[in-house]
Structure 1
């Protein structure tokens, strides 16, 4: 009888190992030709209109930060201060909460691989990928210790932890996006939201959605950024519009656009901090003809006055290149010392992103 039980146990273990190996193989095949940003956006809800990306592992490397789960809250804050000075953290939804996350949640910018903050009219969700060797069971223990109500199912299998009643007691200055938490051990993900239903829907559909083509195109053109803001066409045309400027600036903008030439509405917009310190802007258009036309006009607009922002764009950056590839225009910018190009130009008015 003991021999039969031993054989049965070995068979179960073998099947489990084969299943685990298959999962790793599927993951490798799925991600082999995708950037980290593209991998992250594959988890975004299908209704995403605005994506904010921070590659925390790359930011730590860029800043020479040696952090881990045992680092103090003060060390984490010092790292974030350095990141702010380099304009690498403005896209994160977790910066303000990071010291408490480090001490009370079992994950933070000190240990995360990357963070994607997805927003739409229906809801918002923060998606954090942890390193493969992270035990999300430890995160579950921290959540329970902090007073979160665990899900009825496996606590690391995507069920929603409820911290809506205890979040103010856990720590000061915590973002409301941490009220509800879900853990996905298979994908090494921590997901959070201020809306339990939206979080459940995100988990249930994880990896099933796809970005609109305009957003997907500008994500692909962004390469391997340290941080980025990505918008769909309608959101970009609203958030970056010159209507945010006062009347005199709007009139100046109209004259500058008329002088520059034809501009077309964008189908997607991305601005990103690149390795080495440059900033890249990617603008999607309906077709290649529009992209080629707008490569010229957008370059002219990005090299002149910046109504609504003040001064000239050349006070903030130089335009190194403006190229059209397929339906996408890419502007590669070199920021001037002390300028905050990504954080300043991810909200309007931004003349060279006008629709």
Structure 2
């Protein structure tokens, strides 16, 4: 697993950001203490978000038994990345290839973050990070100055960089090209474009989330999750991504299992103790009940397009329909990488 992550790191290091700017602005707090961190984070995602990736870094560190923070050395950060990847808790994070450089130069990283939410949307990508104890937005601003960013004349102005900063910024994801800081909420909002940052700043916390609310609410407080809109799920997970022979096998298996309907939302999540669940939403409660039966059959059978069977990856513990939402509780096999496997297609049990 370590070799695979290091290959990703090497590829990411080739992406050199020639000119980087940081915008310091204030993000409003939704003020709803009843929301889970995941619910609050998804509410900040762009309205046209197709894919939302969630990593509870504080929970991941606790699960792995690692006591890290802003003062941890680079070896400790590497240990977190390797152990987290092997446990399938961090494979979807946008920060894996940047964590060491962030810890060294930016003063925060997965070693000290509370959580991370990465949203991919048609209008741009957005990254929201919650700073943990011991790190303030003022500390982040100090690091930007130390790196070489030119400080703006106004508090809400533009922090700009020059060629001297490229050596640092080349080691981190381009999503850190533009950053907004919210001192009150302890948030860092970032993107590779000003649009990606502005989408978060303009988000209406009371508006319907881009991923169906039922899916988000059902997930509770996972350590790692990938959430897809219905359109993204029916495209990215489609059996159309499989080769013709696997497509035919999938069609035959669906015909045997029963009726399927298009998804309006989808998520795969992993929690403490490797508890896993797949959550799907449908247009009506009747369709949810029908699909609960069908998806239960598909989830226990062959996995054309991925190879082998789903039973080799996990055991289905329970399938239930509640309103328009279907939840499949899973127990992963020890070496299974469910978040990775079930968040990119083809995935027969998520067929539309």
Tell me which residue corresponds to 1:182: 180
Q: How does 1:225-236 map to 2 (within 5 A)?
A: 225-236=222-233
The worse-fitting range, judged by mean Cα deviation, of 291-300 and 165-174 is 165-174
Look up the SS of the partner of 1:31 in the other structure: coil
Answering whether residue 92 of structure 2 is matched by residue 95 of structure 1, we say no
Offset at 1:46? 1.7
Q: Tell whether the 8 Å contact from 2:108 to 2:135 is kept in structure 1 after alignment.
A: no
Listed one character per residue, the Cα deviations across residues 260-293 of structure 1 (whole Å, up to 9, x for unaligned) are 0000000000100111112110000001100101
Q: Distance in 2 between matches of 1:167 and 1:283?
A: 44
Tell me which residue corresponds to 2:306: 309
Q: Distance in 1 between matches of 2:184 and 2:113?
A: 16
Listed one character per residue, the Cα deviations across residues 309-349 of structure 1 (whole Å, up to 9, x for unaligned) are 00000010010010000100000111111111111111000
Offset at 1:121? 1.1
Tell me which residue corresponds to 1:273: 270
Answering whether residue 338 of structure 2 is matched by residue 341 of structure 1, we say yes
Q: Tell whether the 8 Å contact from 2:116 to 2:129 is kept in structure 1 after alignment.
A: yes
CA separation of 1:225/1:165 partners in 2, compared to 1, >3 Å: closer, same or farther?
A: farther
Q: Tell whether the 8 Å contact from 2:112 to 2:133 is kept in structure 1 after alignment.
A: no
Aligned residues: 325
Q: How does 1:109-188 map to 2 (within 5 A)?
A: 109-131=110-132, 134-154=135-155, 160-163=158-161, 168-170=166-168, 172-188=170-186
Q: Distance in 2 between matches of 1:169 and 1:116?
A: 26
CA separation of 1:95/1:167 partners in 2, compared to 1, >3 Å: closer, same or farther?
A: farther
Q: Distance in 2 between matches of 1:81 and 1:240?
A: 27
Tell me which residue corresponds to 1:297: 294
Q: Distance in 2 between matches of 1:170 and 1:208?
A: 38
Offset at 1:135? 2.0
Look up the SS of the partner of 1:265 in the other structure: coil
Q: Tell whether the 8 Å contact from 2:45 to 2:203 is kept in structure 1 after alignment.
A: no
Offset at 1:172? 4.7
Q: Tell whether the 8 Å contact from 1:306 to 1:351 is kept in structure 2 after alignment.
A: yes
Q: How does 1:1-355 map to 2 (within 5 A)?
A: 27=31, 30-32=32-34, 34-131=35-132, 134-154=135-155, 160-163=158-161, 168-170=166-168, 172-205=170-203, 207=205, 209-212=207-210, 215-355=212-352
Higher relative contact order (CA 8 A, sep 6+): 2
TM-score in terms of structure 2 length = 0.87
The worse-fitting range, judged by mean Cα deviation, of 202-211 and 80-89 is 202-211
CA separation of 1:347/1:47 partners in 2, compared to 1, >3 Å: closer, same or farther?
A: same
Look up the SS of the partner of 2:46 in the other structure: coil
Look up the SS of the partner of 1:200 in the other structure: helix
TM-score in terms of structure 1 length = 0.87
Listed one character per residue, the Cα deviations across residues 48-91 of structure 1 (whole Å, up to 9, x for unaligned) are 11100000000010001111111111110111100011000012
Point out the structure with max Rg over C-alpha: 1
